[in-house]
Structure 1
Amino acid sequence: MSRTAAPAPTSGPTRPPARGARRRPWLLPAVVVGMVLLLALGVAATTQRTTRDALSPVSVAPDGSRALARVLDAAGVDVVESQTFTRTRSLVTEGGGAGSAAGPTIVVTGTDTFSTGRSEALRDLARRTGSTLVLLAPDQRALDVLAPGVEDRGPAEADVVVPACADTDAEAAGAARAGGRTYRVAPGDGVDGTTGCYPVQAEDGARAASWVTLTGAASPTGSRVVVVGQPELVMNRYGAQDGNAALTLRTLGAAPALVWYRPAPWDVETGEARPLSELVPAALLPATVVVVLAGLTLALWRGRRFGRVVVEPLPVVVRSVETVEGRARLYHRAQARDRAAEALRSAAVARLRAVLRLDAGTARTEVADAVAWAAGLPPVGVRELLLSGPPTDDAALVALARDLDELERRVRRTS
């Protein structure tokens, strides 16, 4: 007869773990997370603020102006960005004010958002403080107040031309980038105190200038007014080319302080309400009509469908890699190196546009210039890689693919 063994006696009741022992496994992760958060806050507090806005002195984008602002700062010029007229007036008054020899230089962008009252207030501010006004691509409404006698003649193709004028800054800088918006002194060139530099051909075929200065009796402020029709002069992408840097540094660095007035959308004048039609893009109404019609068409199409959609399995599944290899074999068999090279370049340019945040319609030449600027490479070599003719043999085609891949990796590392 078998006997079942009795259970071994226990030494006593099991005690629950101490409260500190339960918390100890969470202590190390909590300390690590806290240190990471403190480090992130420290980096965010000490890192200089940058943006990617166009014509901003703190923007690192190709169409920003951070490079110019850094050079001016190294030369002893205090560059401050302002997005409202109230702050601009405060900065200019503190930097110059009545009774001083000359106030800070004022760079003004986005004058197309100005009303006549805002332009008059800016004119009076420059007149009271003796500040130099630098207007980047102003429209005719702003010119009538801030640069009377100067006529907007429309856009022109960008080009590098010699100044062909007697302006001191332009003569010292030499050939620089011109074009953009063009201007002409009305009713004719040669008005006392008004100088037109960098002659180009306007949209209507007439001769005009992309750089105009007003001094003396011609200036409505009593101090110098500079009308710059080509804002690319101050952009990071073109700042180091030709005489652009010399021209902009001499013009913007004449005073010890520079106020960069870039109006924000919320910079609305007190007591002067603007109608909603001026704030809404002109294409909004047609786009809304198209979207509504497309929605109605989609509703009709979906509503007229009878029965369920029959799902039918495909007879074969082709992997994407097999499709690519098959097309490559067809190109190789047909010796279509030109089409293969164009496919490689088109795909590379599309990816580079996305990396550099360029518009989908940006021309390939402009993409090549932007890539050269971002990667620190000679523009001629990048243009040859992205725009040259088809390779002569299969080895050249393979080398092209390898060079495009290396160029893309370099741009991604530096962007």
Structure 2
Amino acid sequence: MSALIDVATRGTRSSAAVPLTARLRSAGVWIVAAIAILITVIATMLMTSDRESEAPLHYDSTAREGTKAMVETLRDHGVEVTTTEDYETAHKASGKPDTTLLIPTKADLLSQGDIDGFQSQLAANDNRLALIDPGHMVQEFTDRITVDDSISPLATPDKISRPHCEVPAAQAAGGVETGETEYAEARKGTEGLSTCYPFTGPGVSQVGGGEVTPGSAHGQLIVDEGGGGKADFPVTVLGNPDWATNAGIDEEGNASLVLSQLSQSDHLVVYYPTESGESESTPSTLDYVPSWFIAGALWLVPCVLILLLILGRRFGPLAVERLPVIVPAVETVHGRAALAARSHDRTGALHTLRTGALLRVAKRLALGPEAGPRDIIVGIANATGRDPAQVDSVFSSAVPSTDSELANIVHQLTLIESEIS
């Protein structure tokens, strides 16, 4: 019995490689899956490599309320622009000579120590400060400018404001869109301070009250060239944030006014204040996944399930008979032959024929159970007088590459077996 097992396991199957086409067919699904995953990863990296903020007046935002258009335009016109959400970076950069520090929004997030640090840096280097609609926070930076609270709440200013001042940049810009806040000098007759674009229109009148001295200069643009007090450096207040947004910068004279005010220095630092620790928090993996990718992934789930059902489908039970199933030998032979023919498994078919021939020859030569395939081949050569190399080729080593070669080897196999009496 051991001889039969030895022949079946070690006897005649060749070590020839599986055809490349068969390997590709079996690995086709995995190859397609790997390519799809690779493409998805590359697309995700490309889509998320330059993530932008959508916060209002943020320097990286391309939304309608962002200011990226303003920042990039200044860069295109030769201004060296530094953008940051980090206070230390902004504080250090604001000390560079010939610099303007722009705080576009959220000035209320700054502590008094932060403001004092900026003031000392700007004053020491004779640099400029620009604020976009800071509201009452303007008084934390300078005591020469305040919010004009003396405008009647029933007033309806004109949609377009005119300069009404001698500031060259405002005269060149002409009319701009009217905002919601007006600023004024904190004390009447403050020297070195210019006001432009005052509210005009039906119902606009000074009603007194508030912190503004009646009759003081007022407008939506305040240019203070510095004259002591808290701010011993130039301060510019742009009273309407729409002048700088992506949606509003190309309206009326907004672009001319904003760009001229922010390009008076060779270097512009845009500091966007954030909550404490907000800019230093480590983003999670989901923060780098775009919304379209998540929606696409959810849509792919049912598609993958359907694909798995198609690939794993079965057409009914394997056998309708009650077990155990009795299959006639001839059906087994025909079935295996059909499988071998369909898969072009010439090597497997030849292995089966060789195994049967060796078993029959071993029995005829009365070889014991300890005889292996080589012993049987030597016995065949001695019994038939044929060249041992030829017998080994027919019974063991020859590998057919075509159907005709397979038929020739089988013919030789049958012929040699018939010569053994």
Per the normalisation by structure 1, the TM-score is 0.52
Cα distance in 2, alignment partners of residues 132 and 232 from structure 1: 21
Q: Is the 8 A contact 1:175 1:242 kept in 2?
A: yes
| 2:166 equivalent to 1:166 | yes
Distance 1:267 1:125, change over 3 A: farther
Counterpart mapping for 1:280-295 below 5 A:
none
Cα distance in 2, alignment partners of residues 52 and 66 from structure 1: 11
| 2:28 equivalent to 1:25 | yes
Cα distance in 1, alignment partners of residues 27 and 159 from structure 2: 70
Q: Is the 8 A contact 1:135 1:226 kept in 2?
A: yes
Letter of the 2:131 counterpart: L
Find the partner of 1:229 among 239, 263, 271.
239
Find the partner of 2:46 among 25, 43, 61.
43
Letter of the 1:170 counterpart: A
Larger C-alpha radius of gyration, 1 or 2? 2
Higher relative contact order (CA 8 A, sep 6+): 2
Q: Is the 8 A contact 1:180 1:231 kept in 2?
A: no
Query: Shift in Å at residue 164 of structure 1?
Result: 1.0
Cα distance in 2, alignment partners of residues 21 and 119 from structure 1: 68
Counterpart mapping for 1:246-395 below 5 A:
246-266=256-276
Letter of the 1:217 counterpart: G
- Give the strand-richer structure, 1 or 2: 1
Query: Shift in Å at residue 245 of structure 1?
Result: 0.4
Letter of the 1:164 counterpart: H
Query: Shift in Å at residue 193 of structure 1?
Result: 0.7
The CA deviation string for residues 16-52 of structure 1, in whole angstroms up to 9 with x for no partner, is x97967961333223312430353155236x543232
Cα distance in 2, alignment partners of residues 81 and 218 from structure 1: 29
Moved more, 257-266 or 240-249: 257-266
Cα distance in 2, alignment partners of residues 122 and 221 from structure 1: 10
| 2:163 equivalent to 1:186 | no
Question: Would you identify which runs of 4 or more consecutive aligned residues in structure 1 move more than 3 Å?
Answer: 17-23, 154-158, 201-208, 218-223
Cα distance in 1, alignment partners of residues 158 and 82 from structure 2: 29
Cα distance in 2, alignment partners of residues 218 and 227 from structure 1: 17
Distance 1:227 1:267, change over 3 A: farther
Cα distance in 1, alignment partners of residues 56 and 234 from structure 2: 25
Q: Is the 8 A contact 1:79 1:257 kept in 2?
A: yes
Query: Shift in Å at residue 116 of structure 1?
Result: 2.8
Letter of the 2:275 counterpart: P
Q: Residue 238 of structure 1 aligns with which residue?
A: 248
Find the partner of 1:92 among 91, 94, 106.
94
Cα distance in 1, alignment partners of residues 74 and 38 from structure 2: 38
Query: Shift in Å at residue 192 of structure 1?
Result: 0.7
Q: Residue 63 of structure 1 aligns with which residue?
A: 65
Distance 1:29 1:199, change over 3 A: same
Cα distance in 1, alignment partners of residues 224 and 166 from structure 2: 12
Q: Please give the root-mean-square deviation of Cα atoms over the aligned residues, in Å.
A: 3.5
Query: Shift in Å at residue 158 of structure 1?
Result: 7.2
Cα distance in 1, alignment partners of residues 205 and 34 from structure 2: 66
Distance 1:71 1:120, change over 3 A: same
Gaps of 5+ in 2: 1-11, 209-214, 279-421
Q: Residue 144 of structure 1 aligns with which residue?
A: 139
Aligned residues: 249
| 2:140 equivalent to 1:117 | no
Query: Shift in Å at residue 115 of structure 1?
Result: 3.2
Distance 1:136 1:104, change over 3 A: closer
The CA deviation string for residues 129-182 of structure 1, in whole angstroms up to 9 with x for no partner, is 332111111233x33342212121248857311111122221221111233221
Query: Shift in Å at residue 185 of structure 1?
Result: 0.9
Distance 1:229 1:119, change over 3 A: same
Q: Secondary structure at the match of 2:220?
A: strand
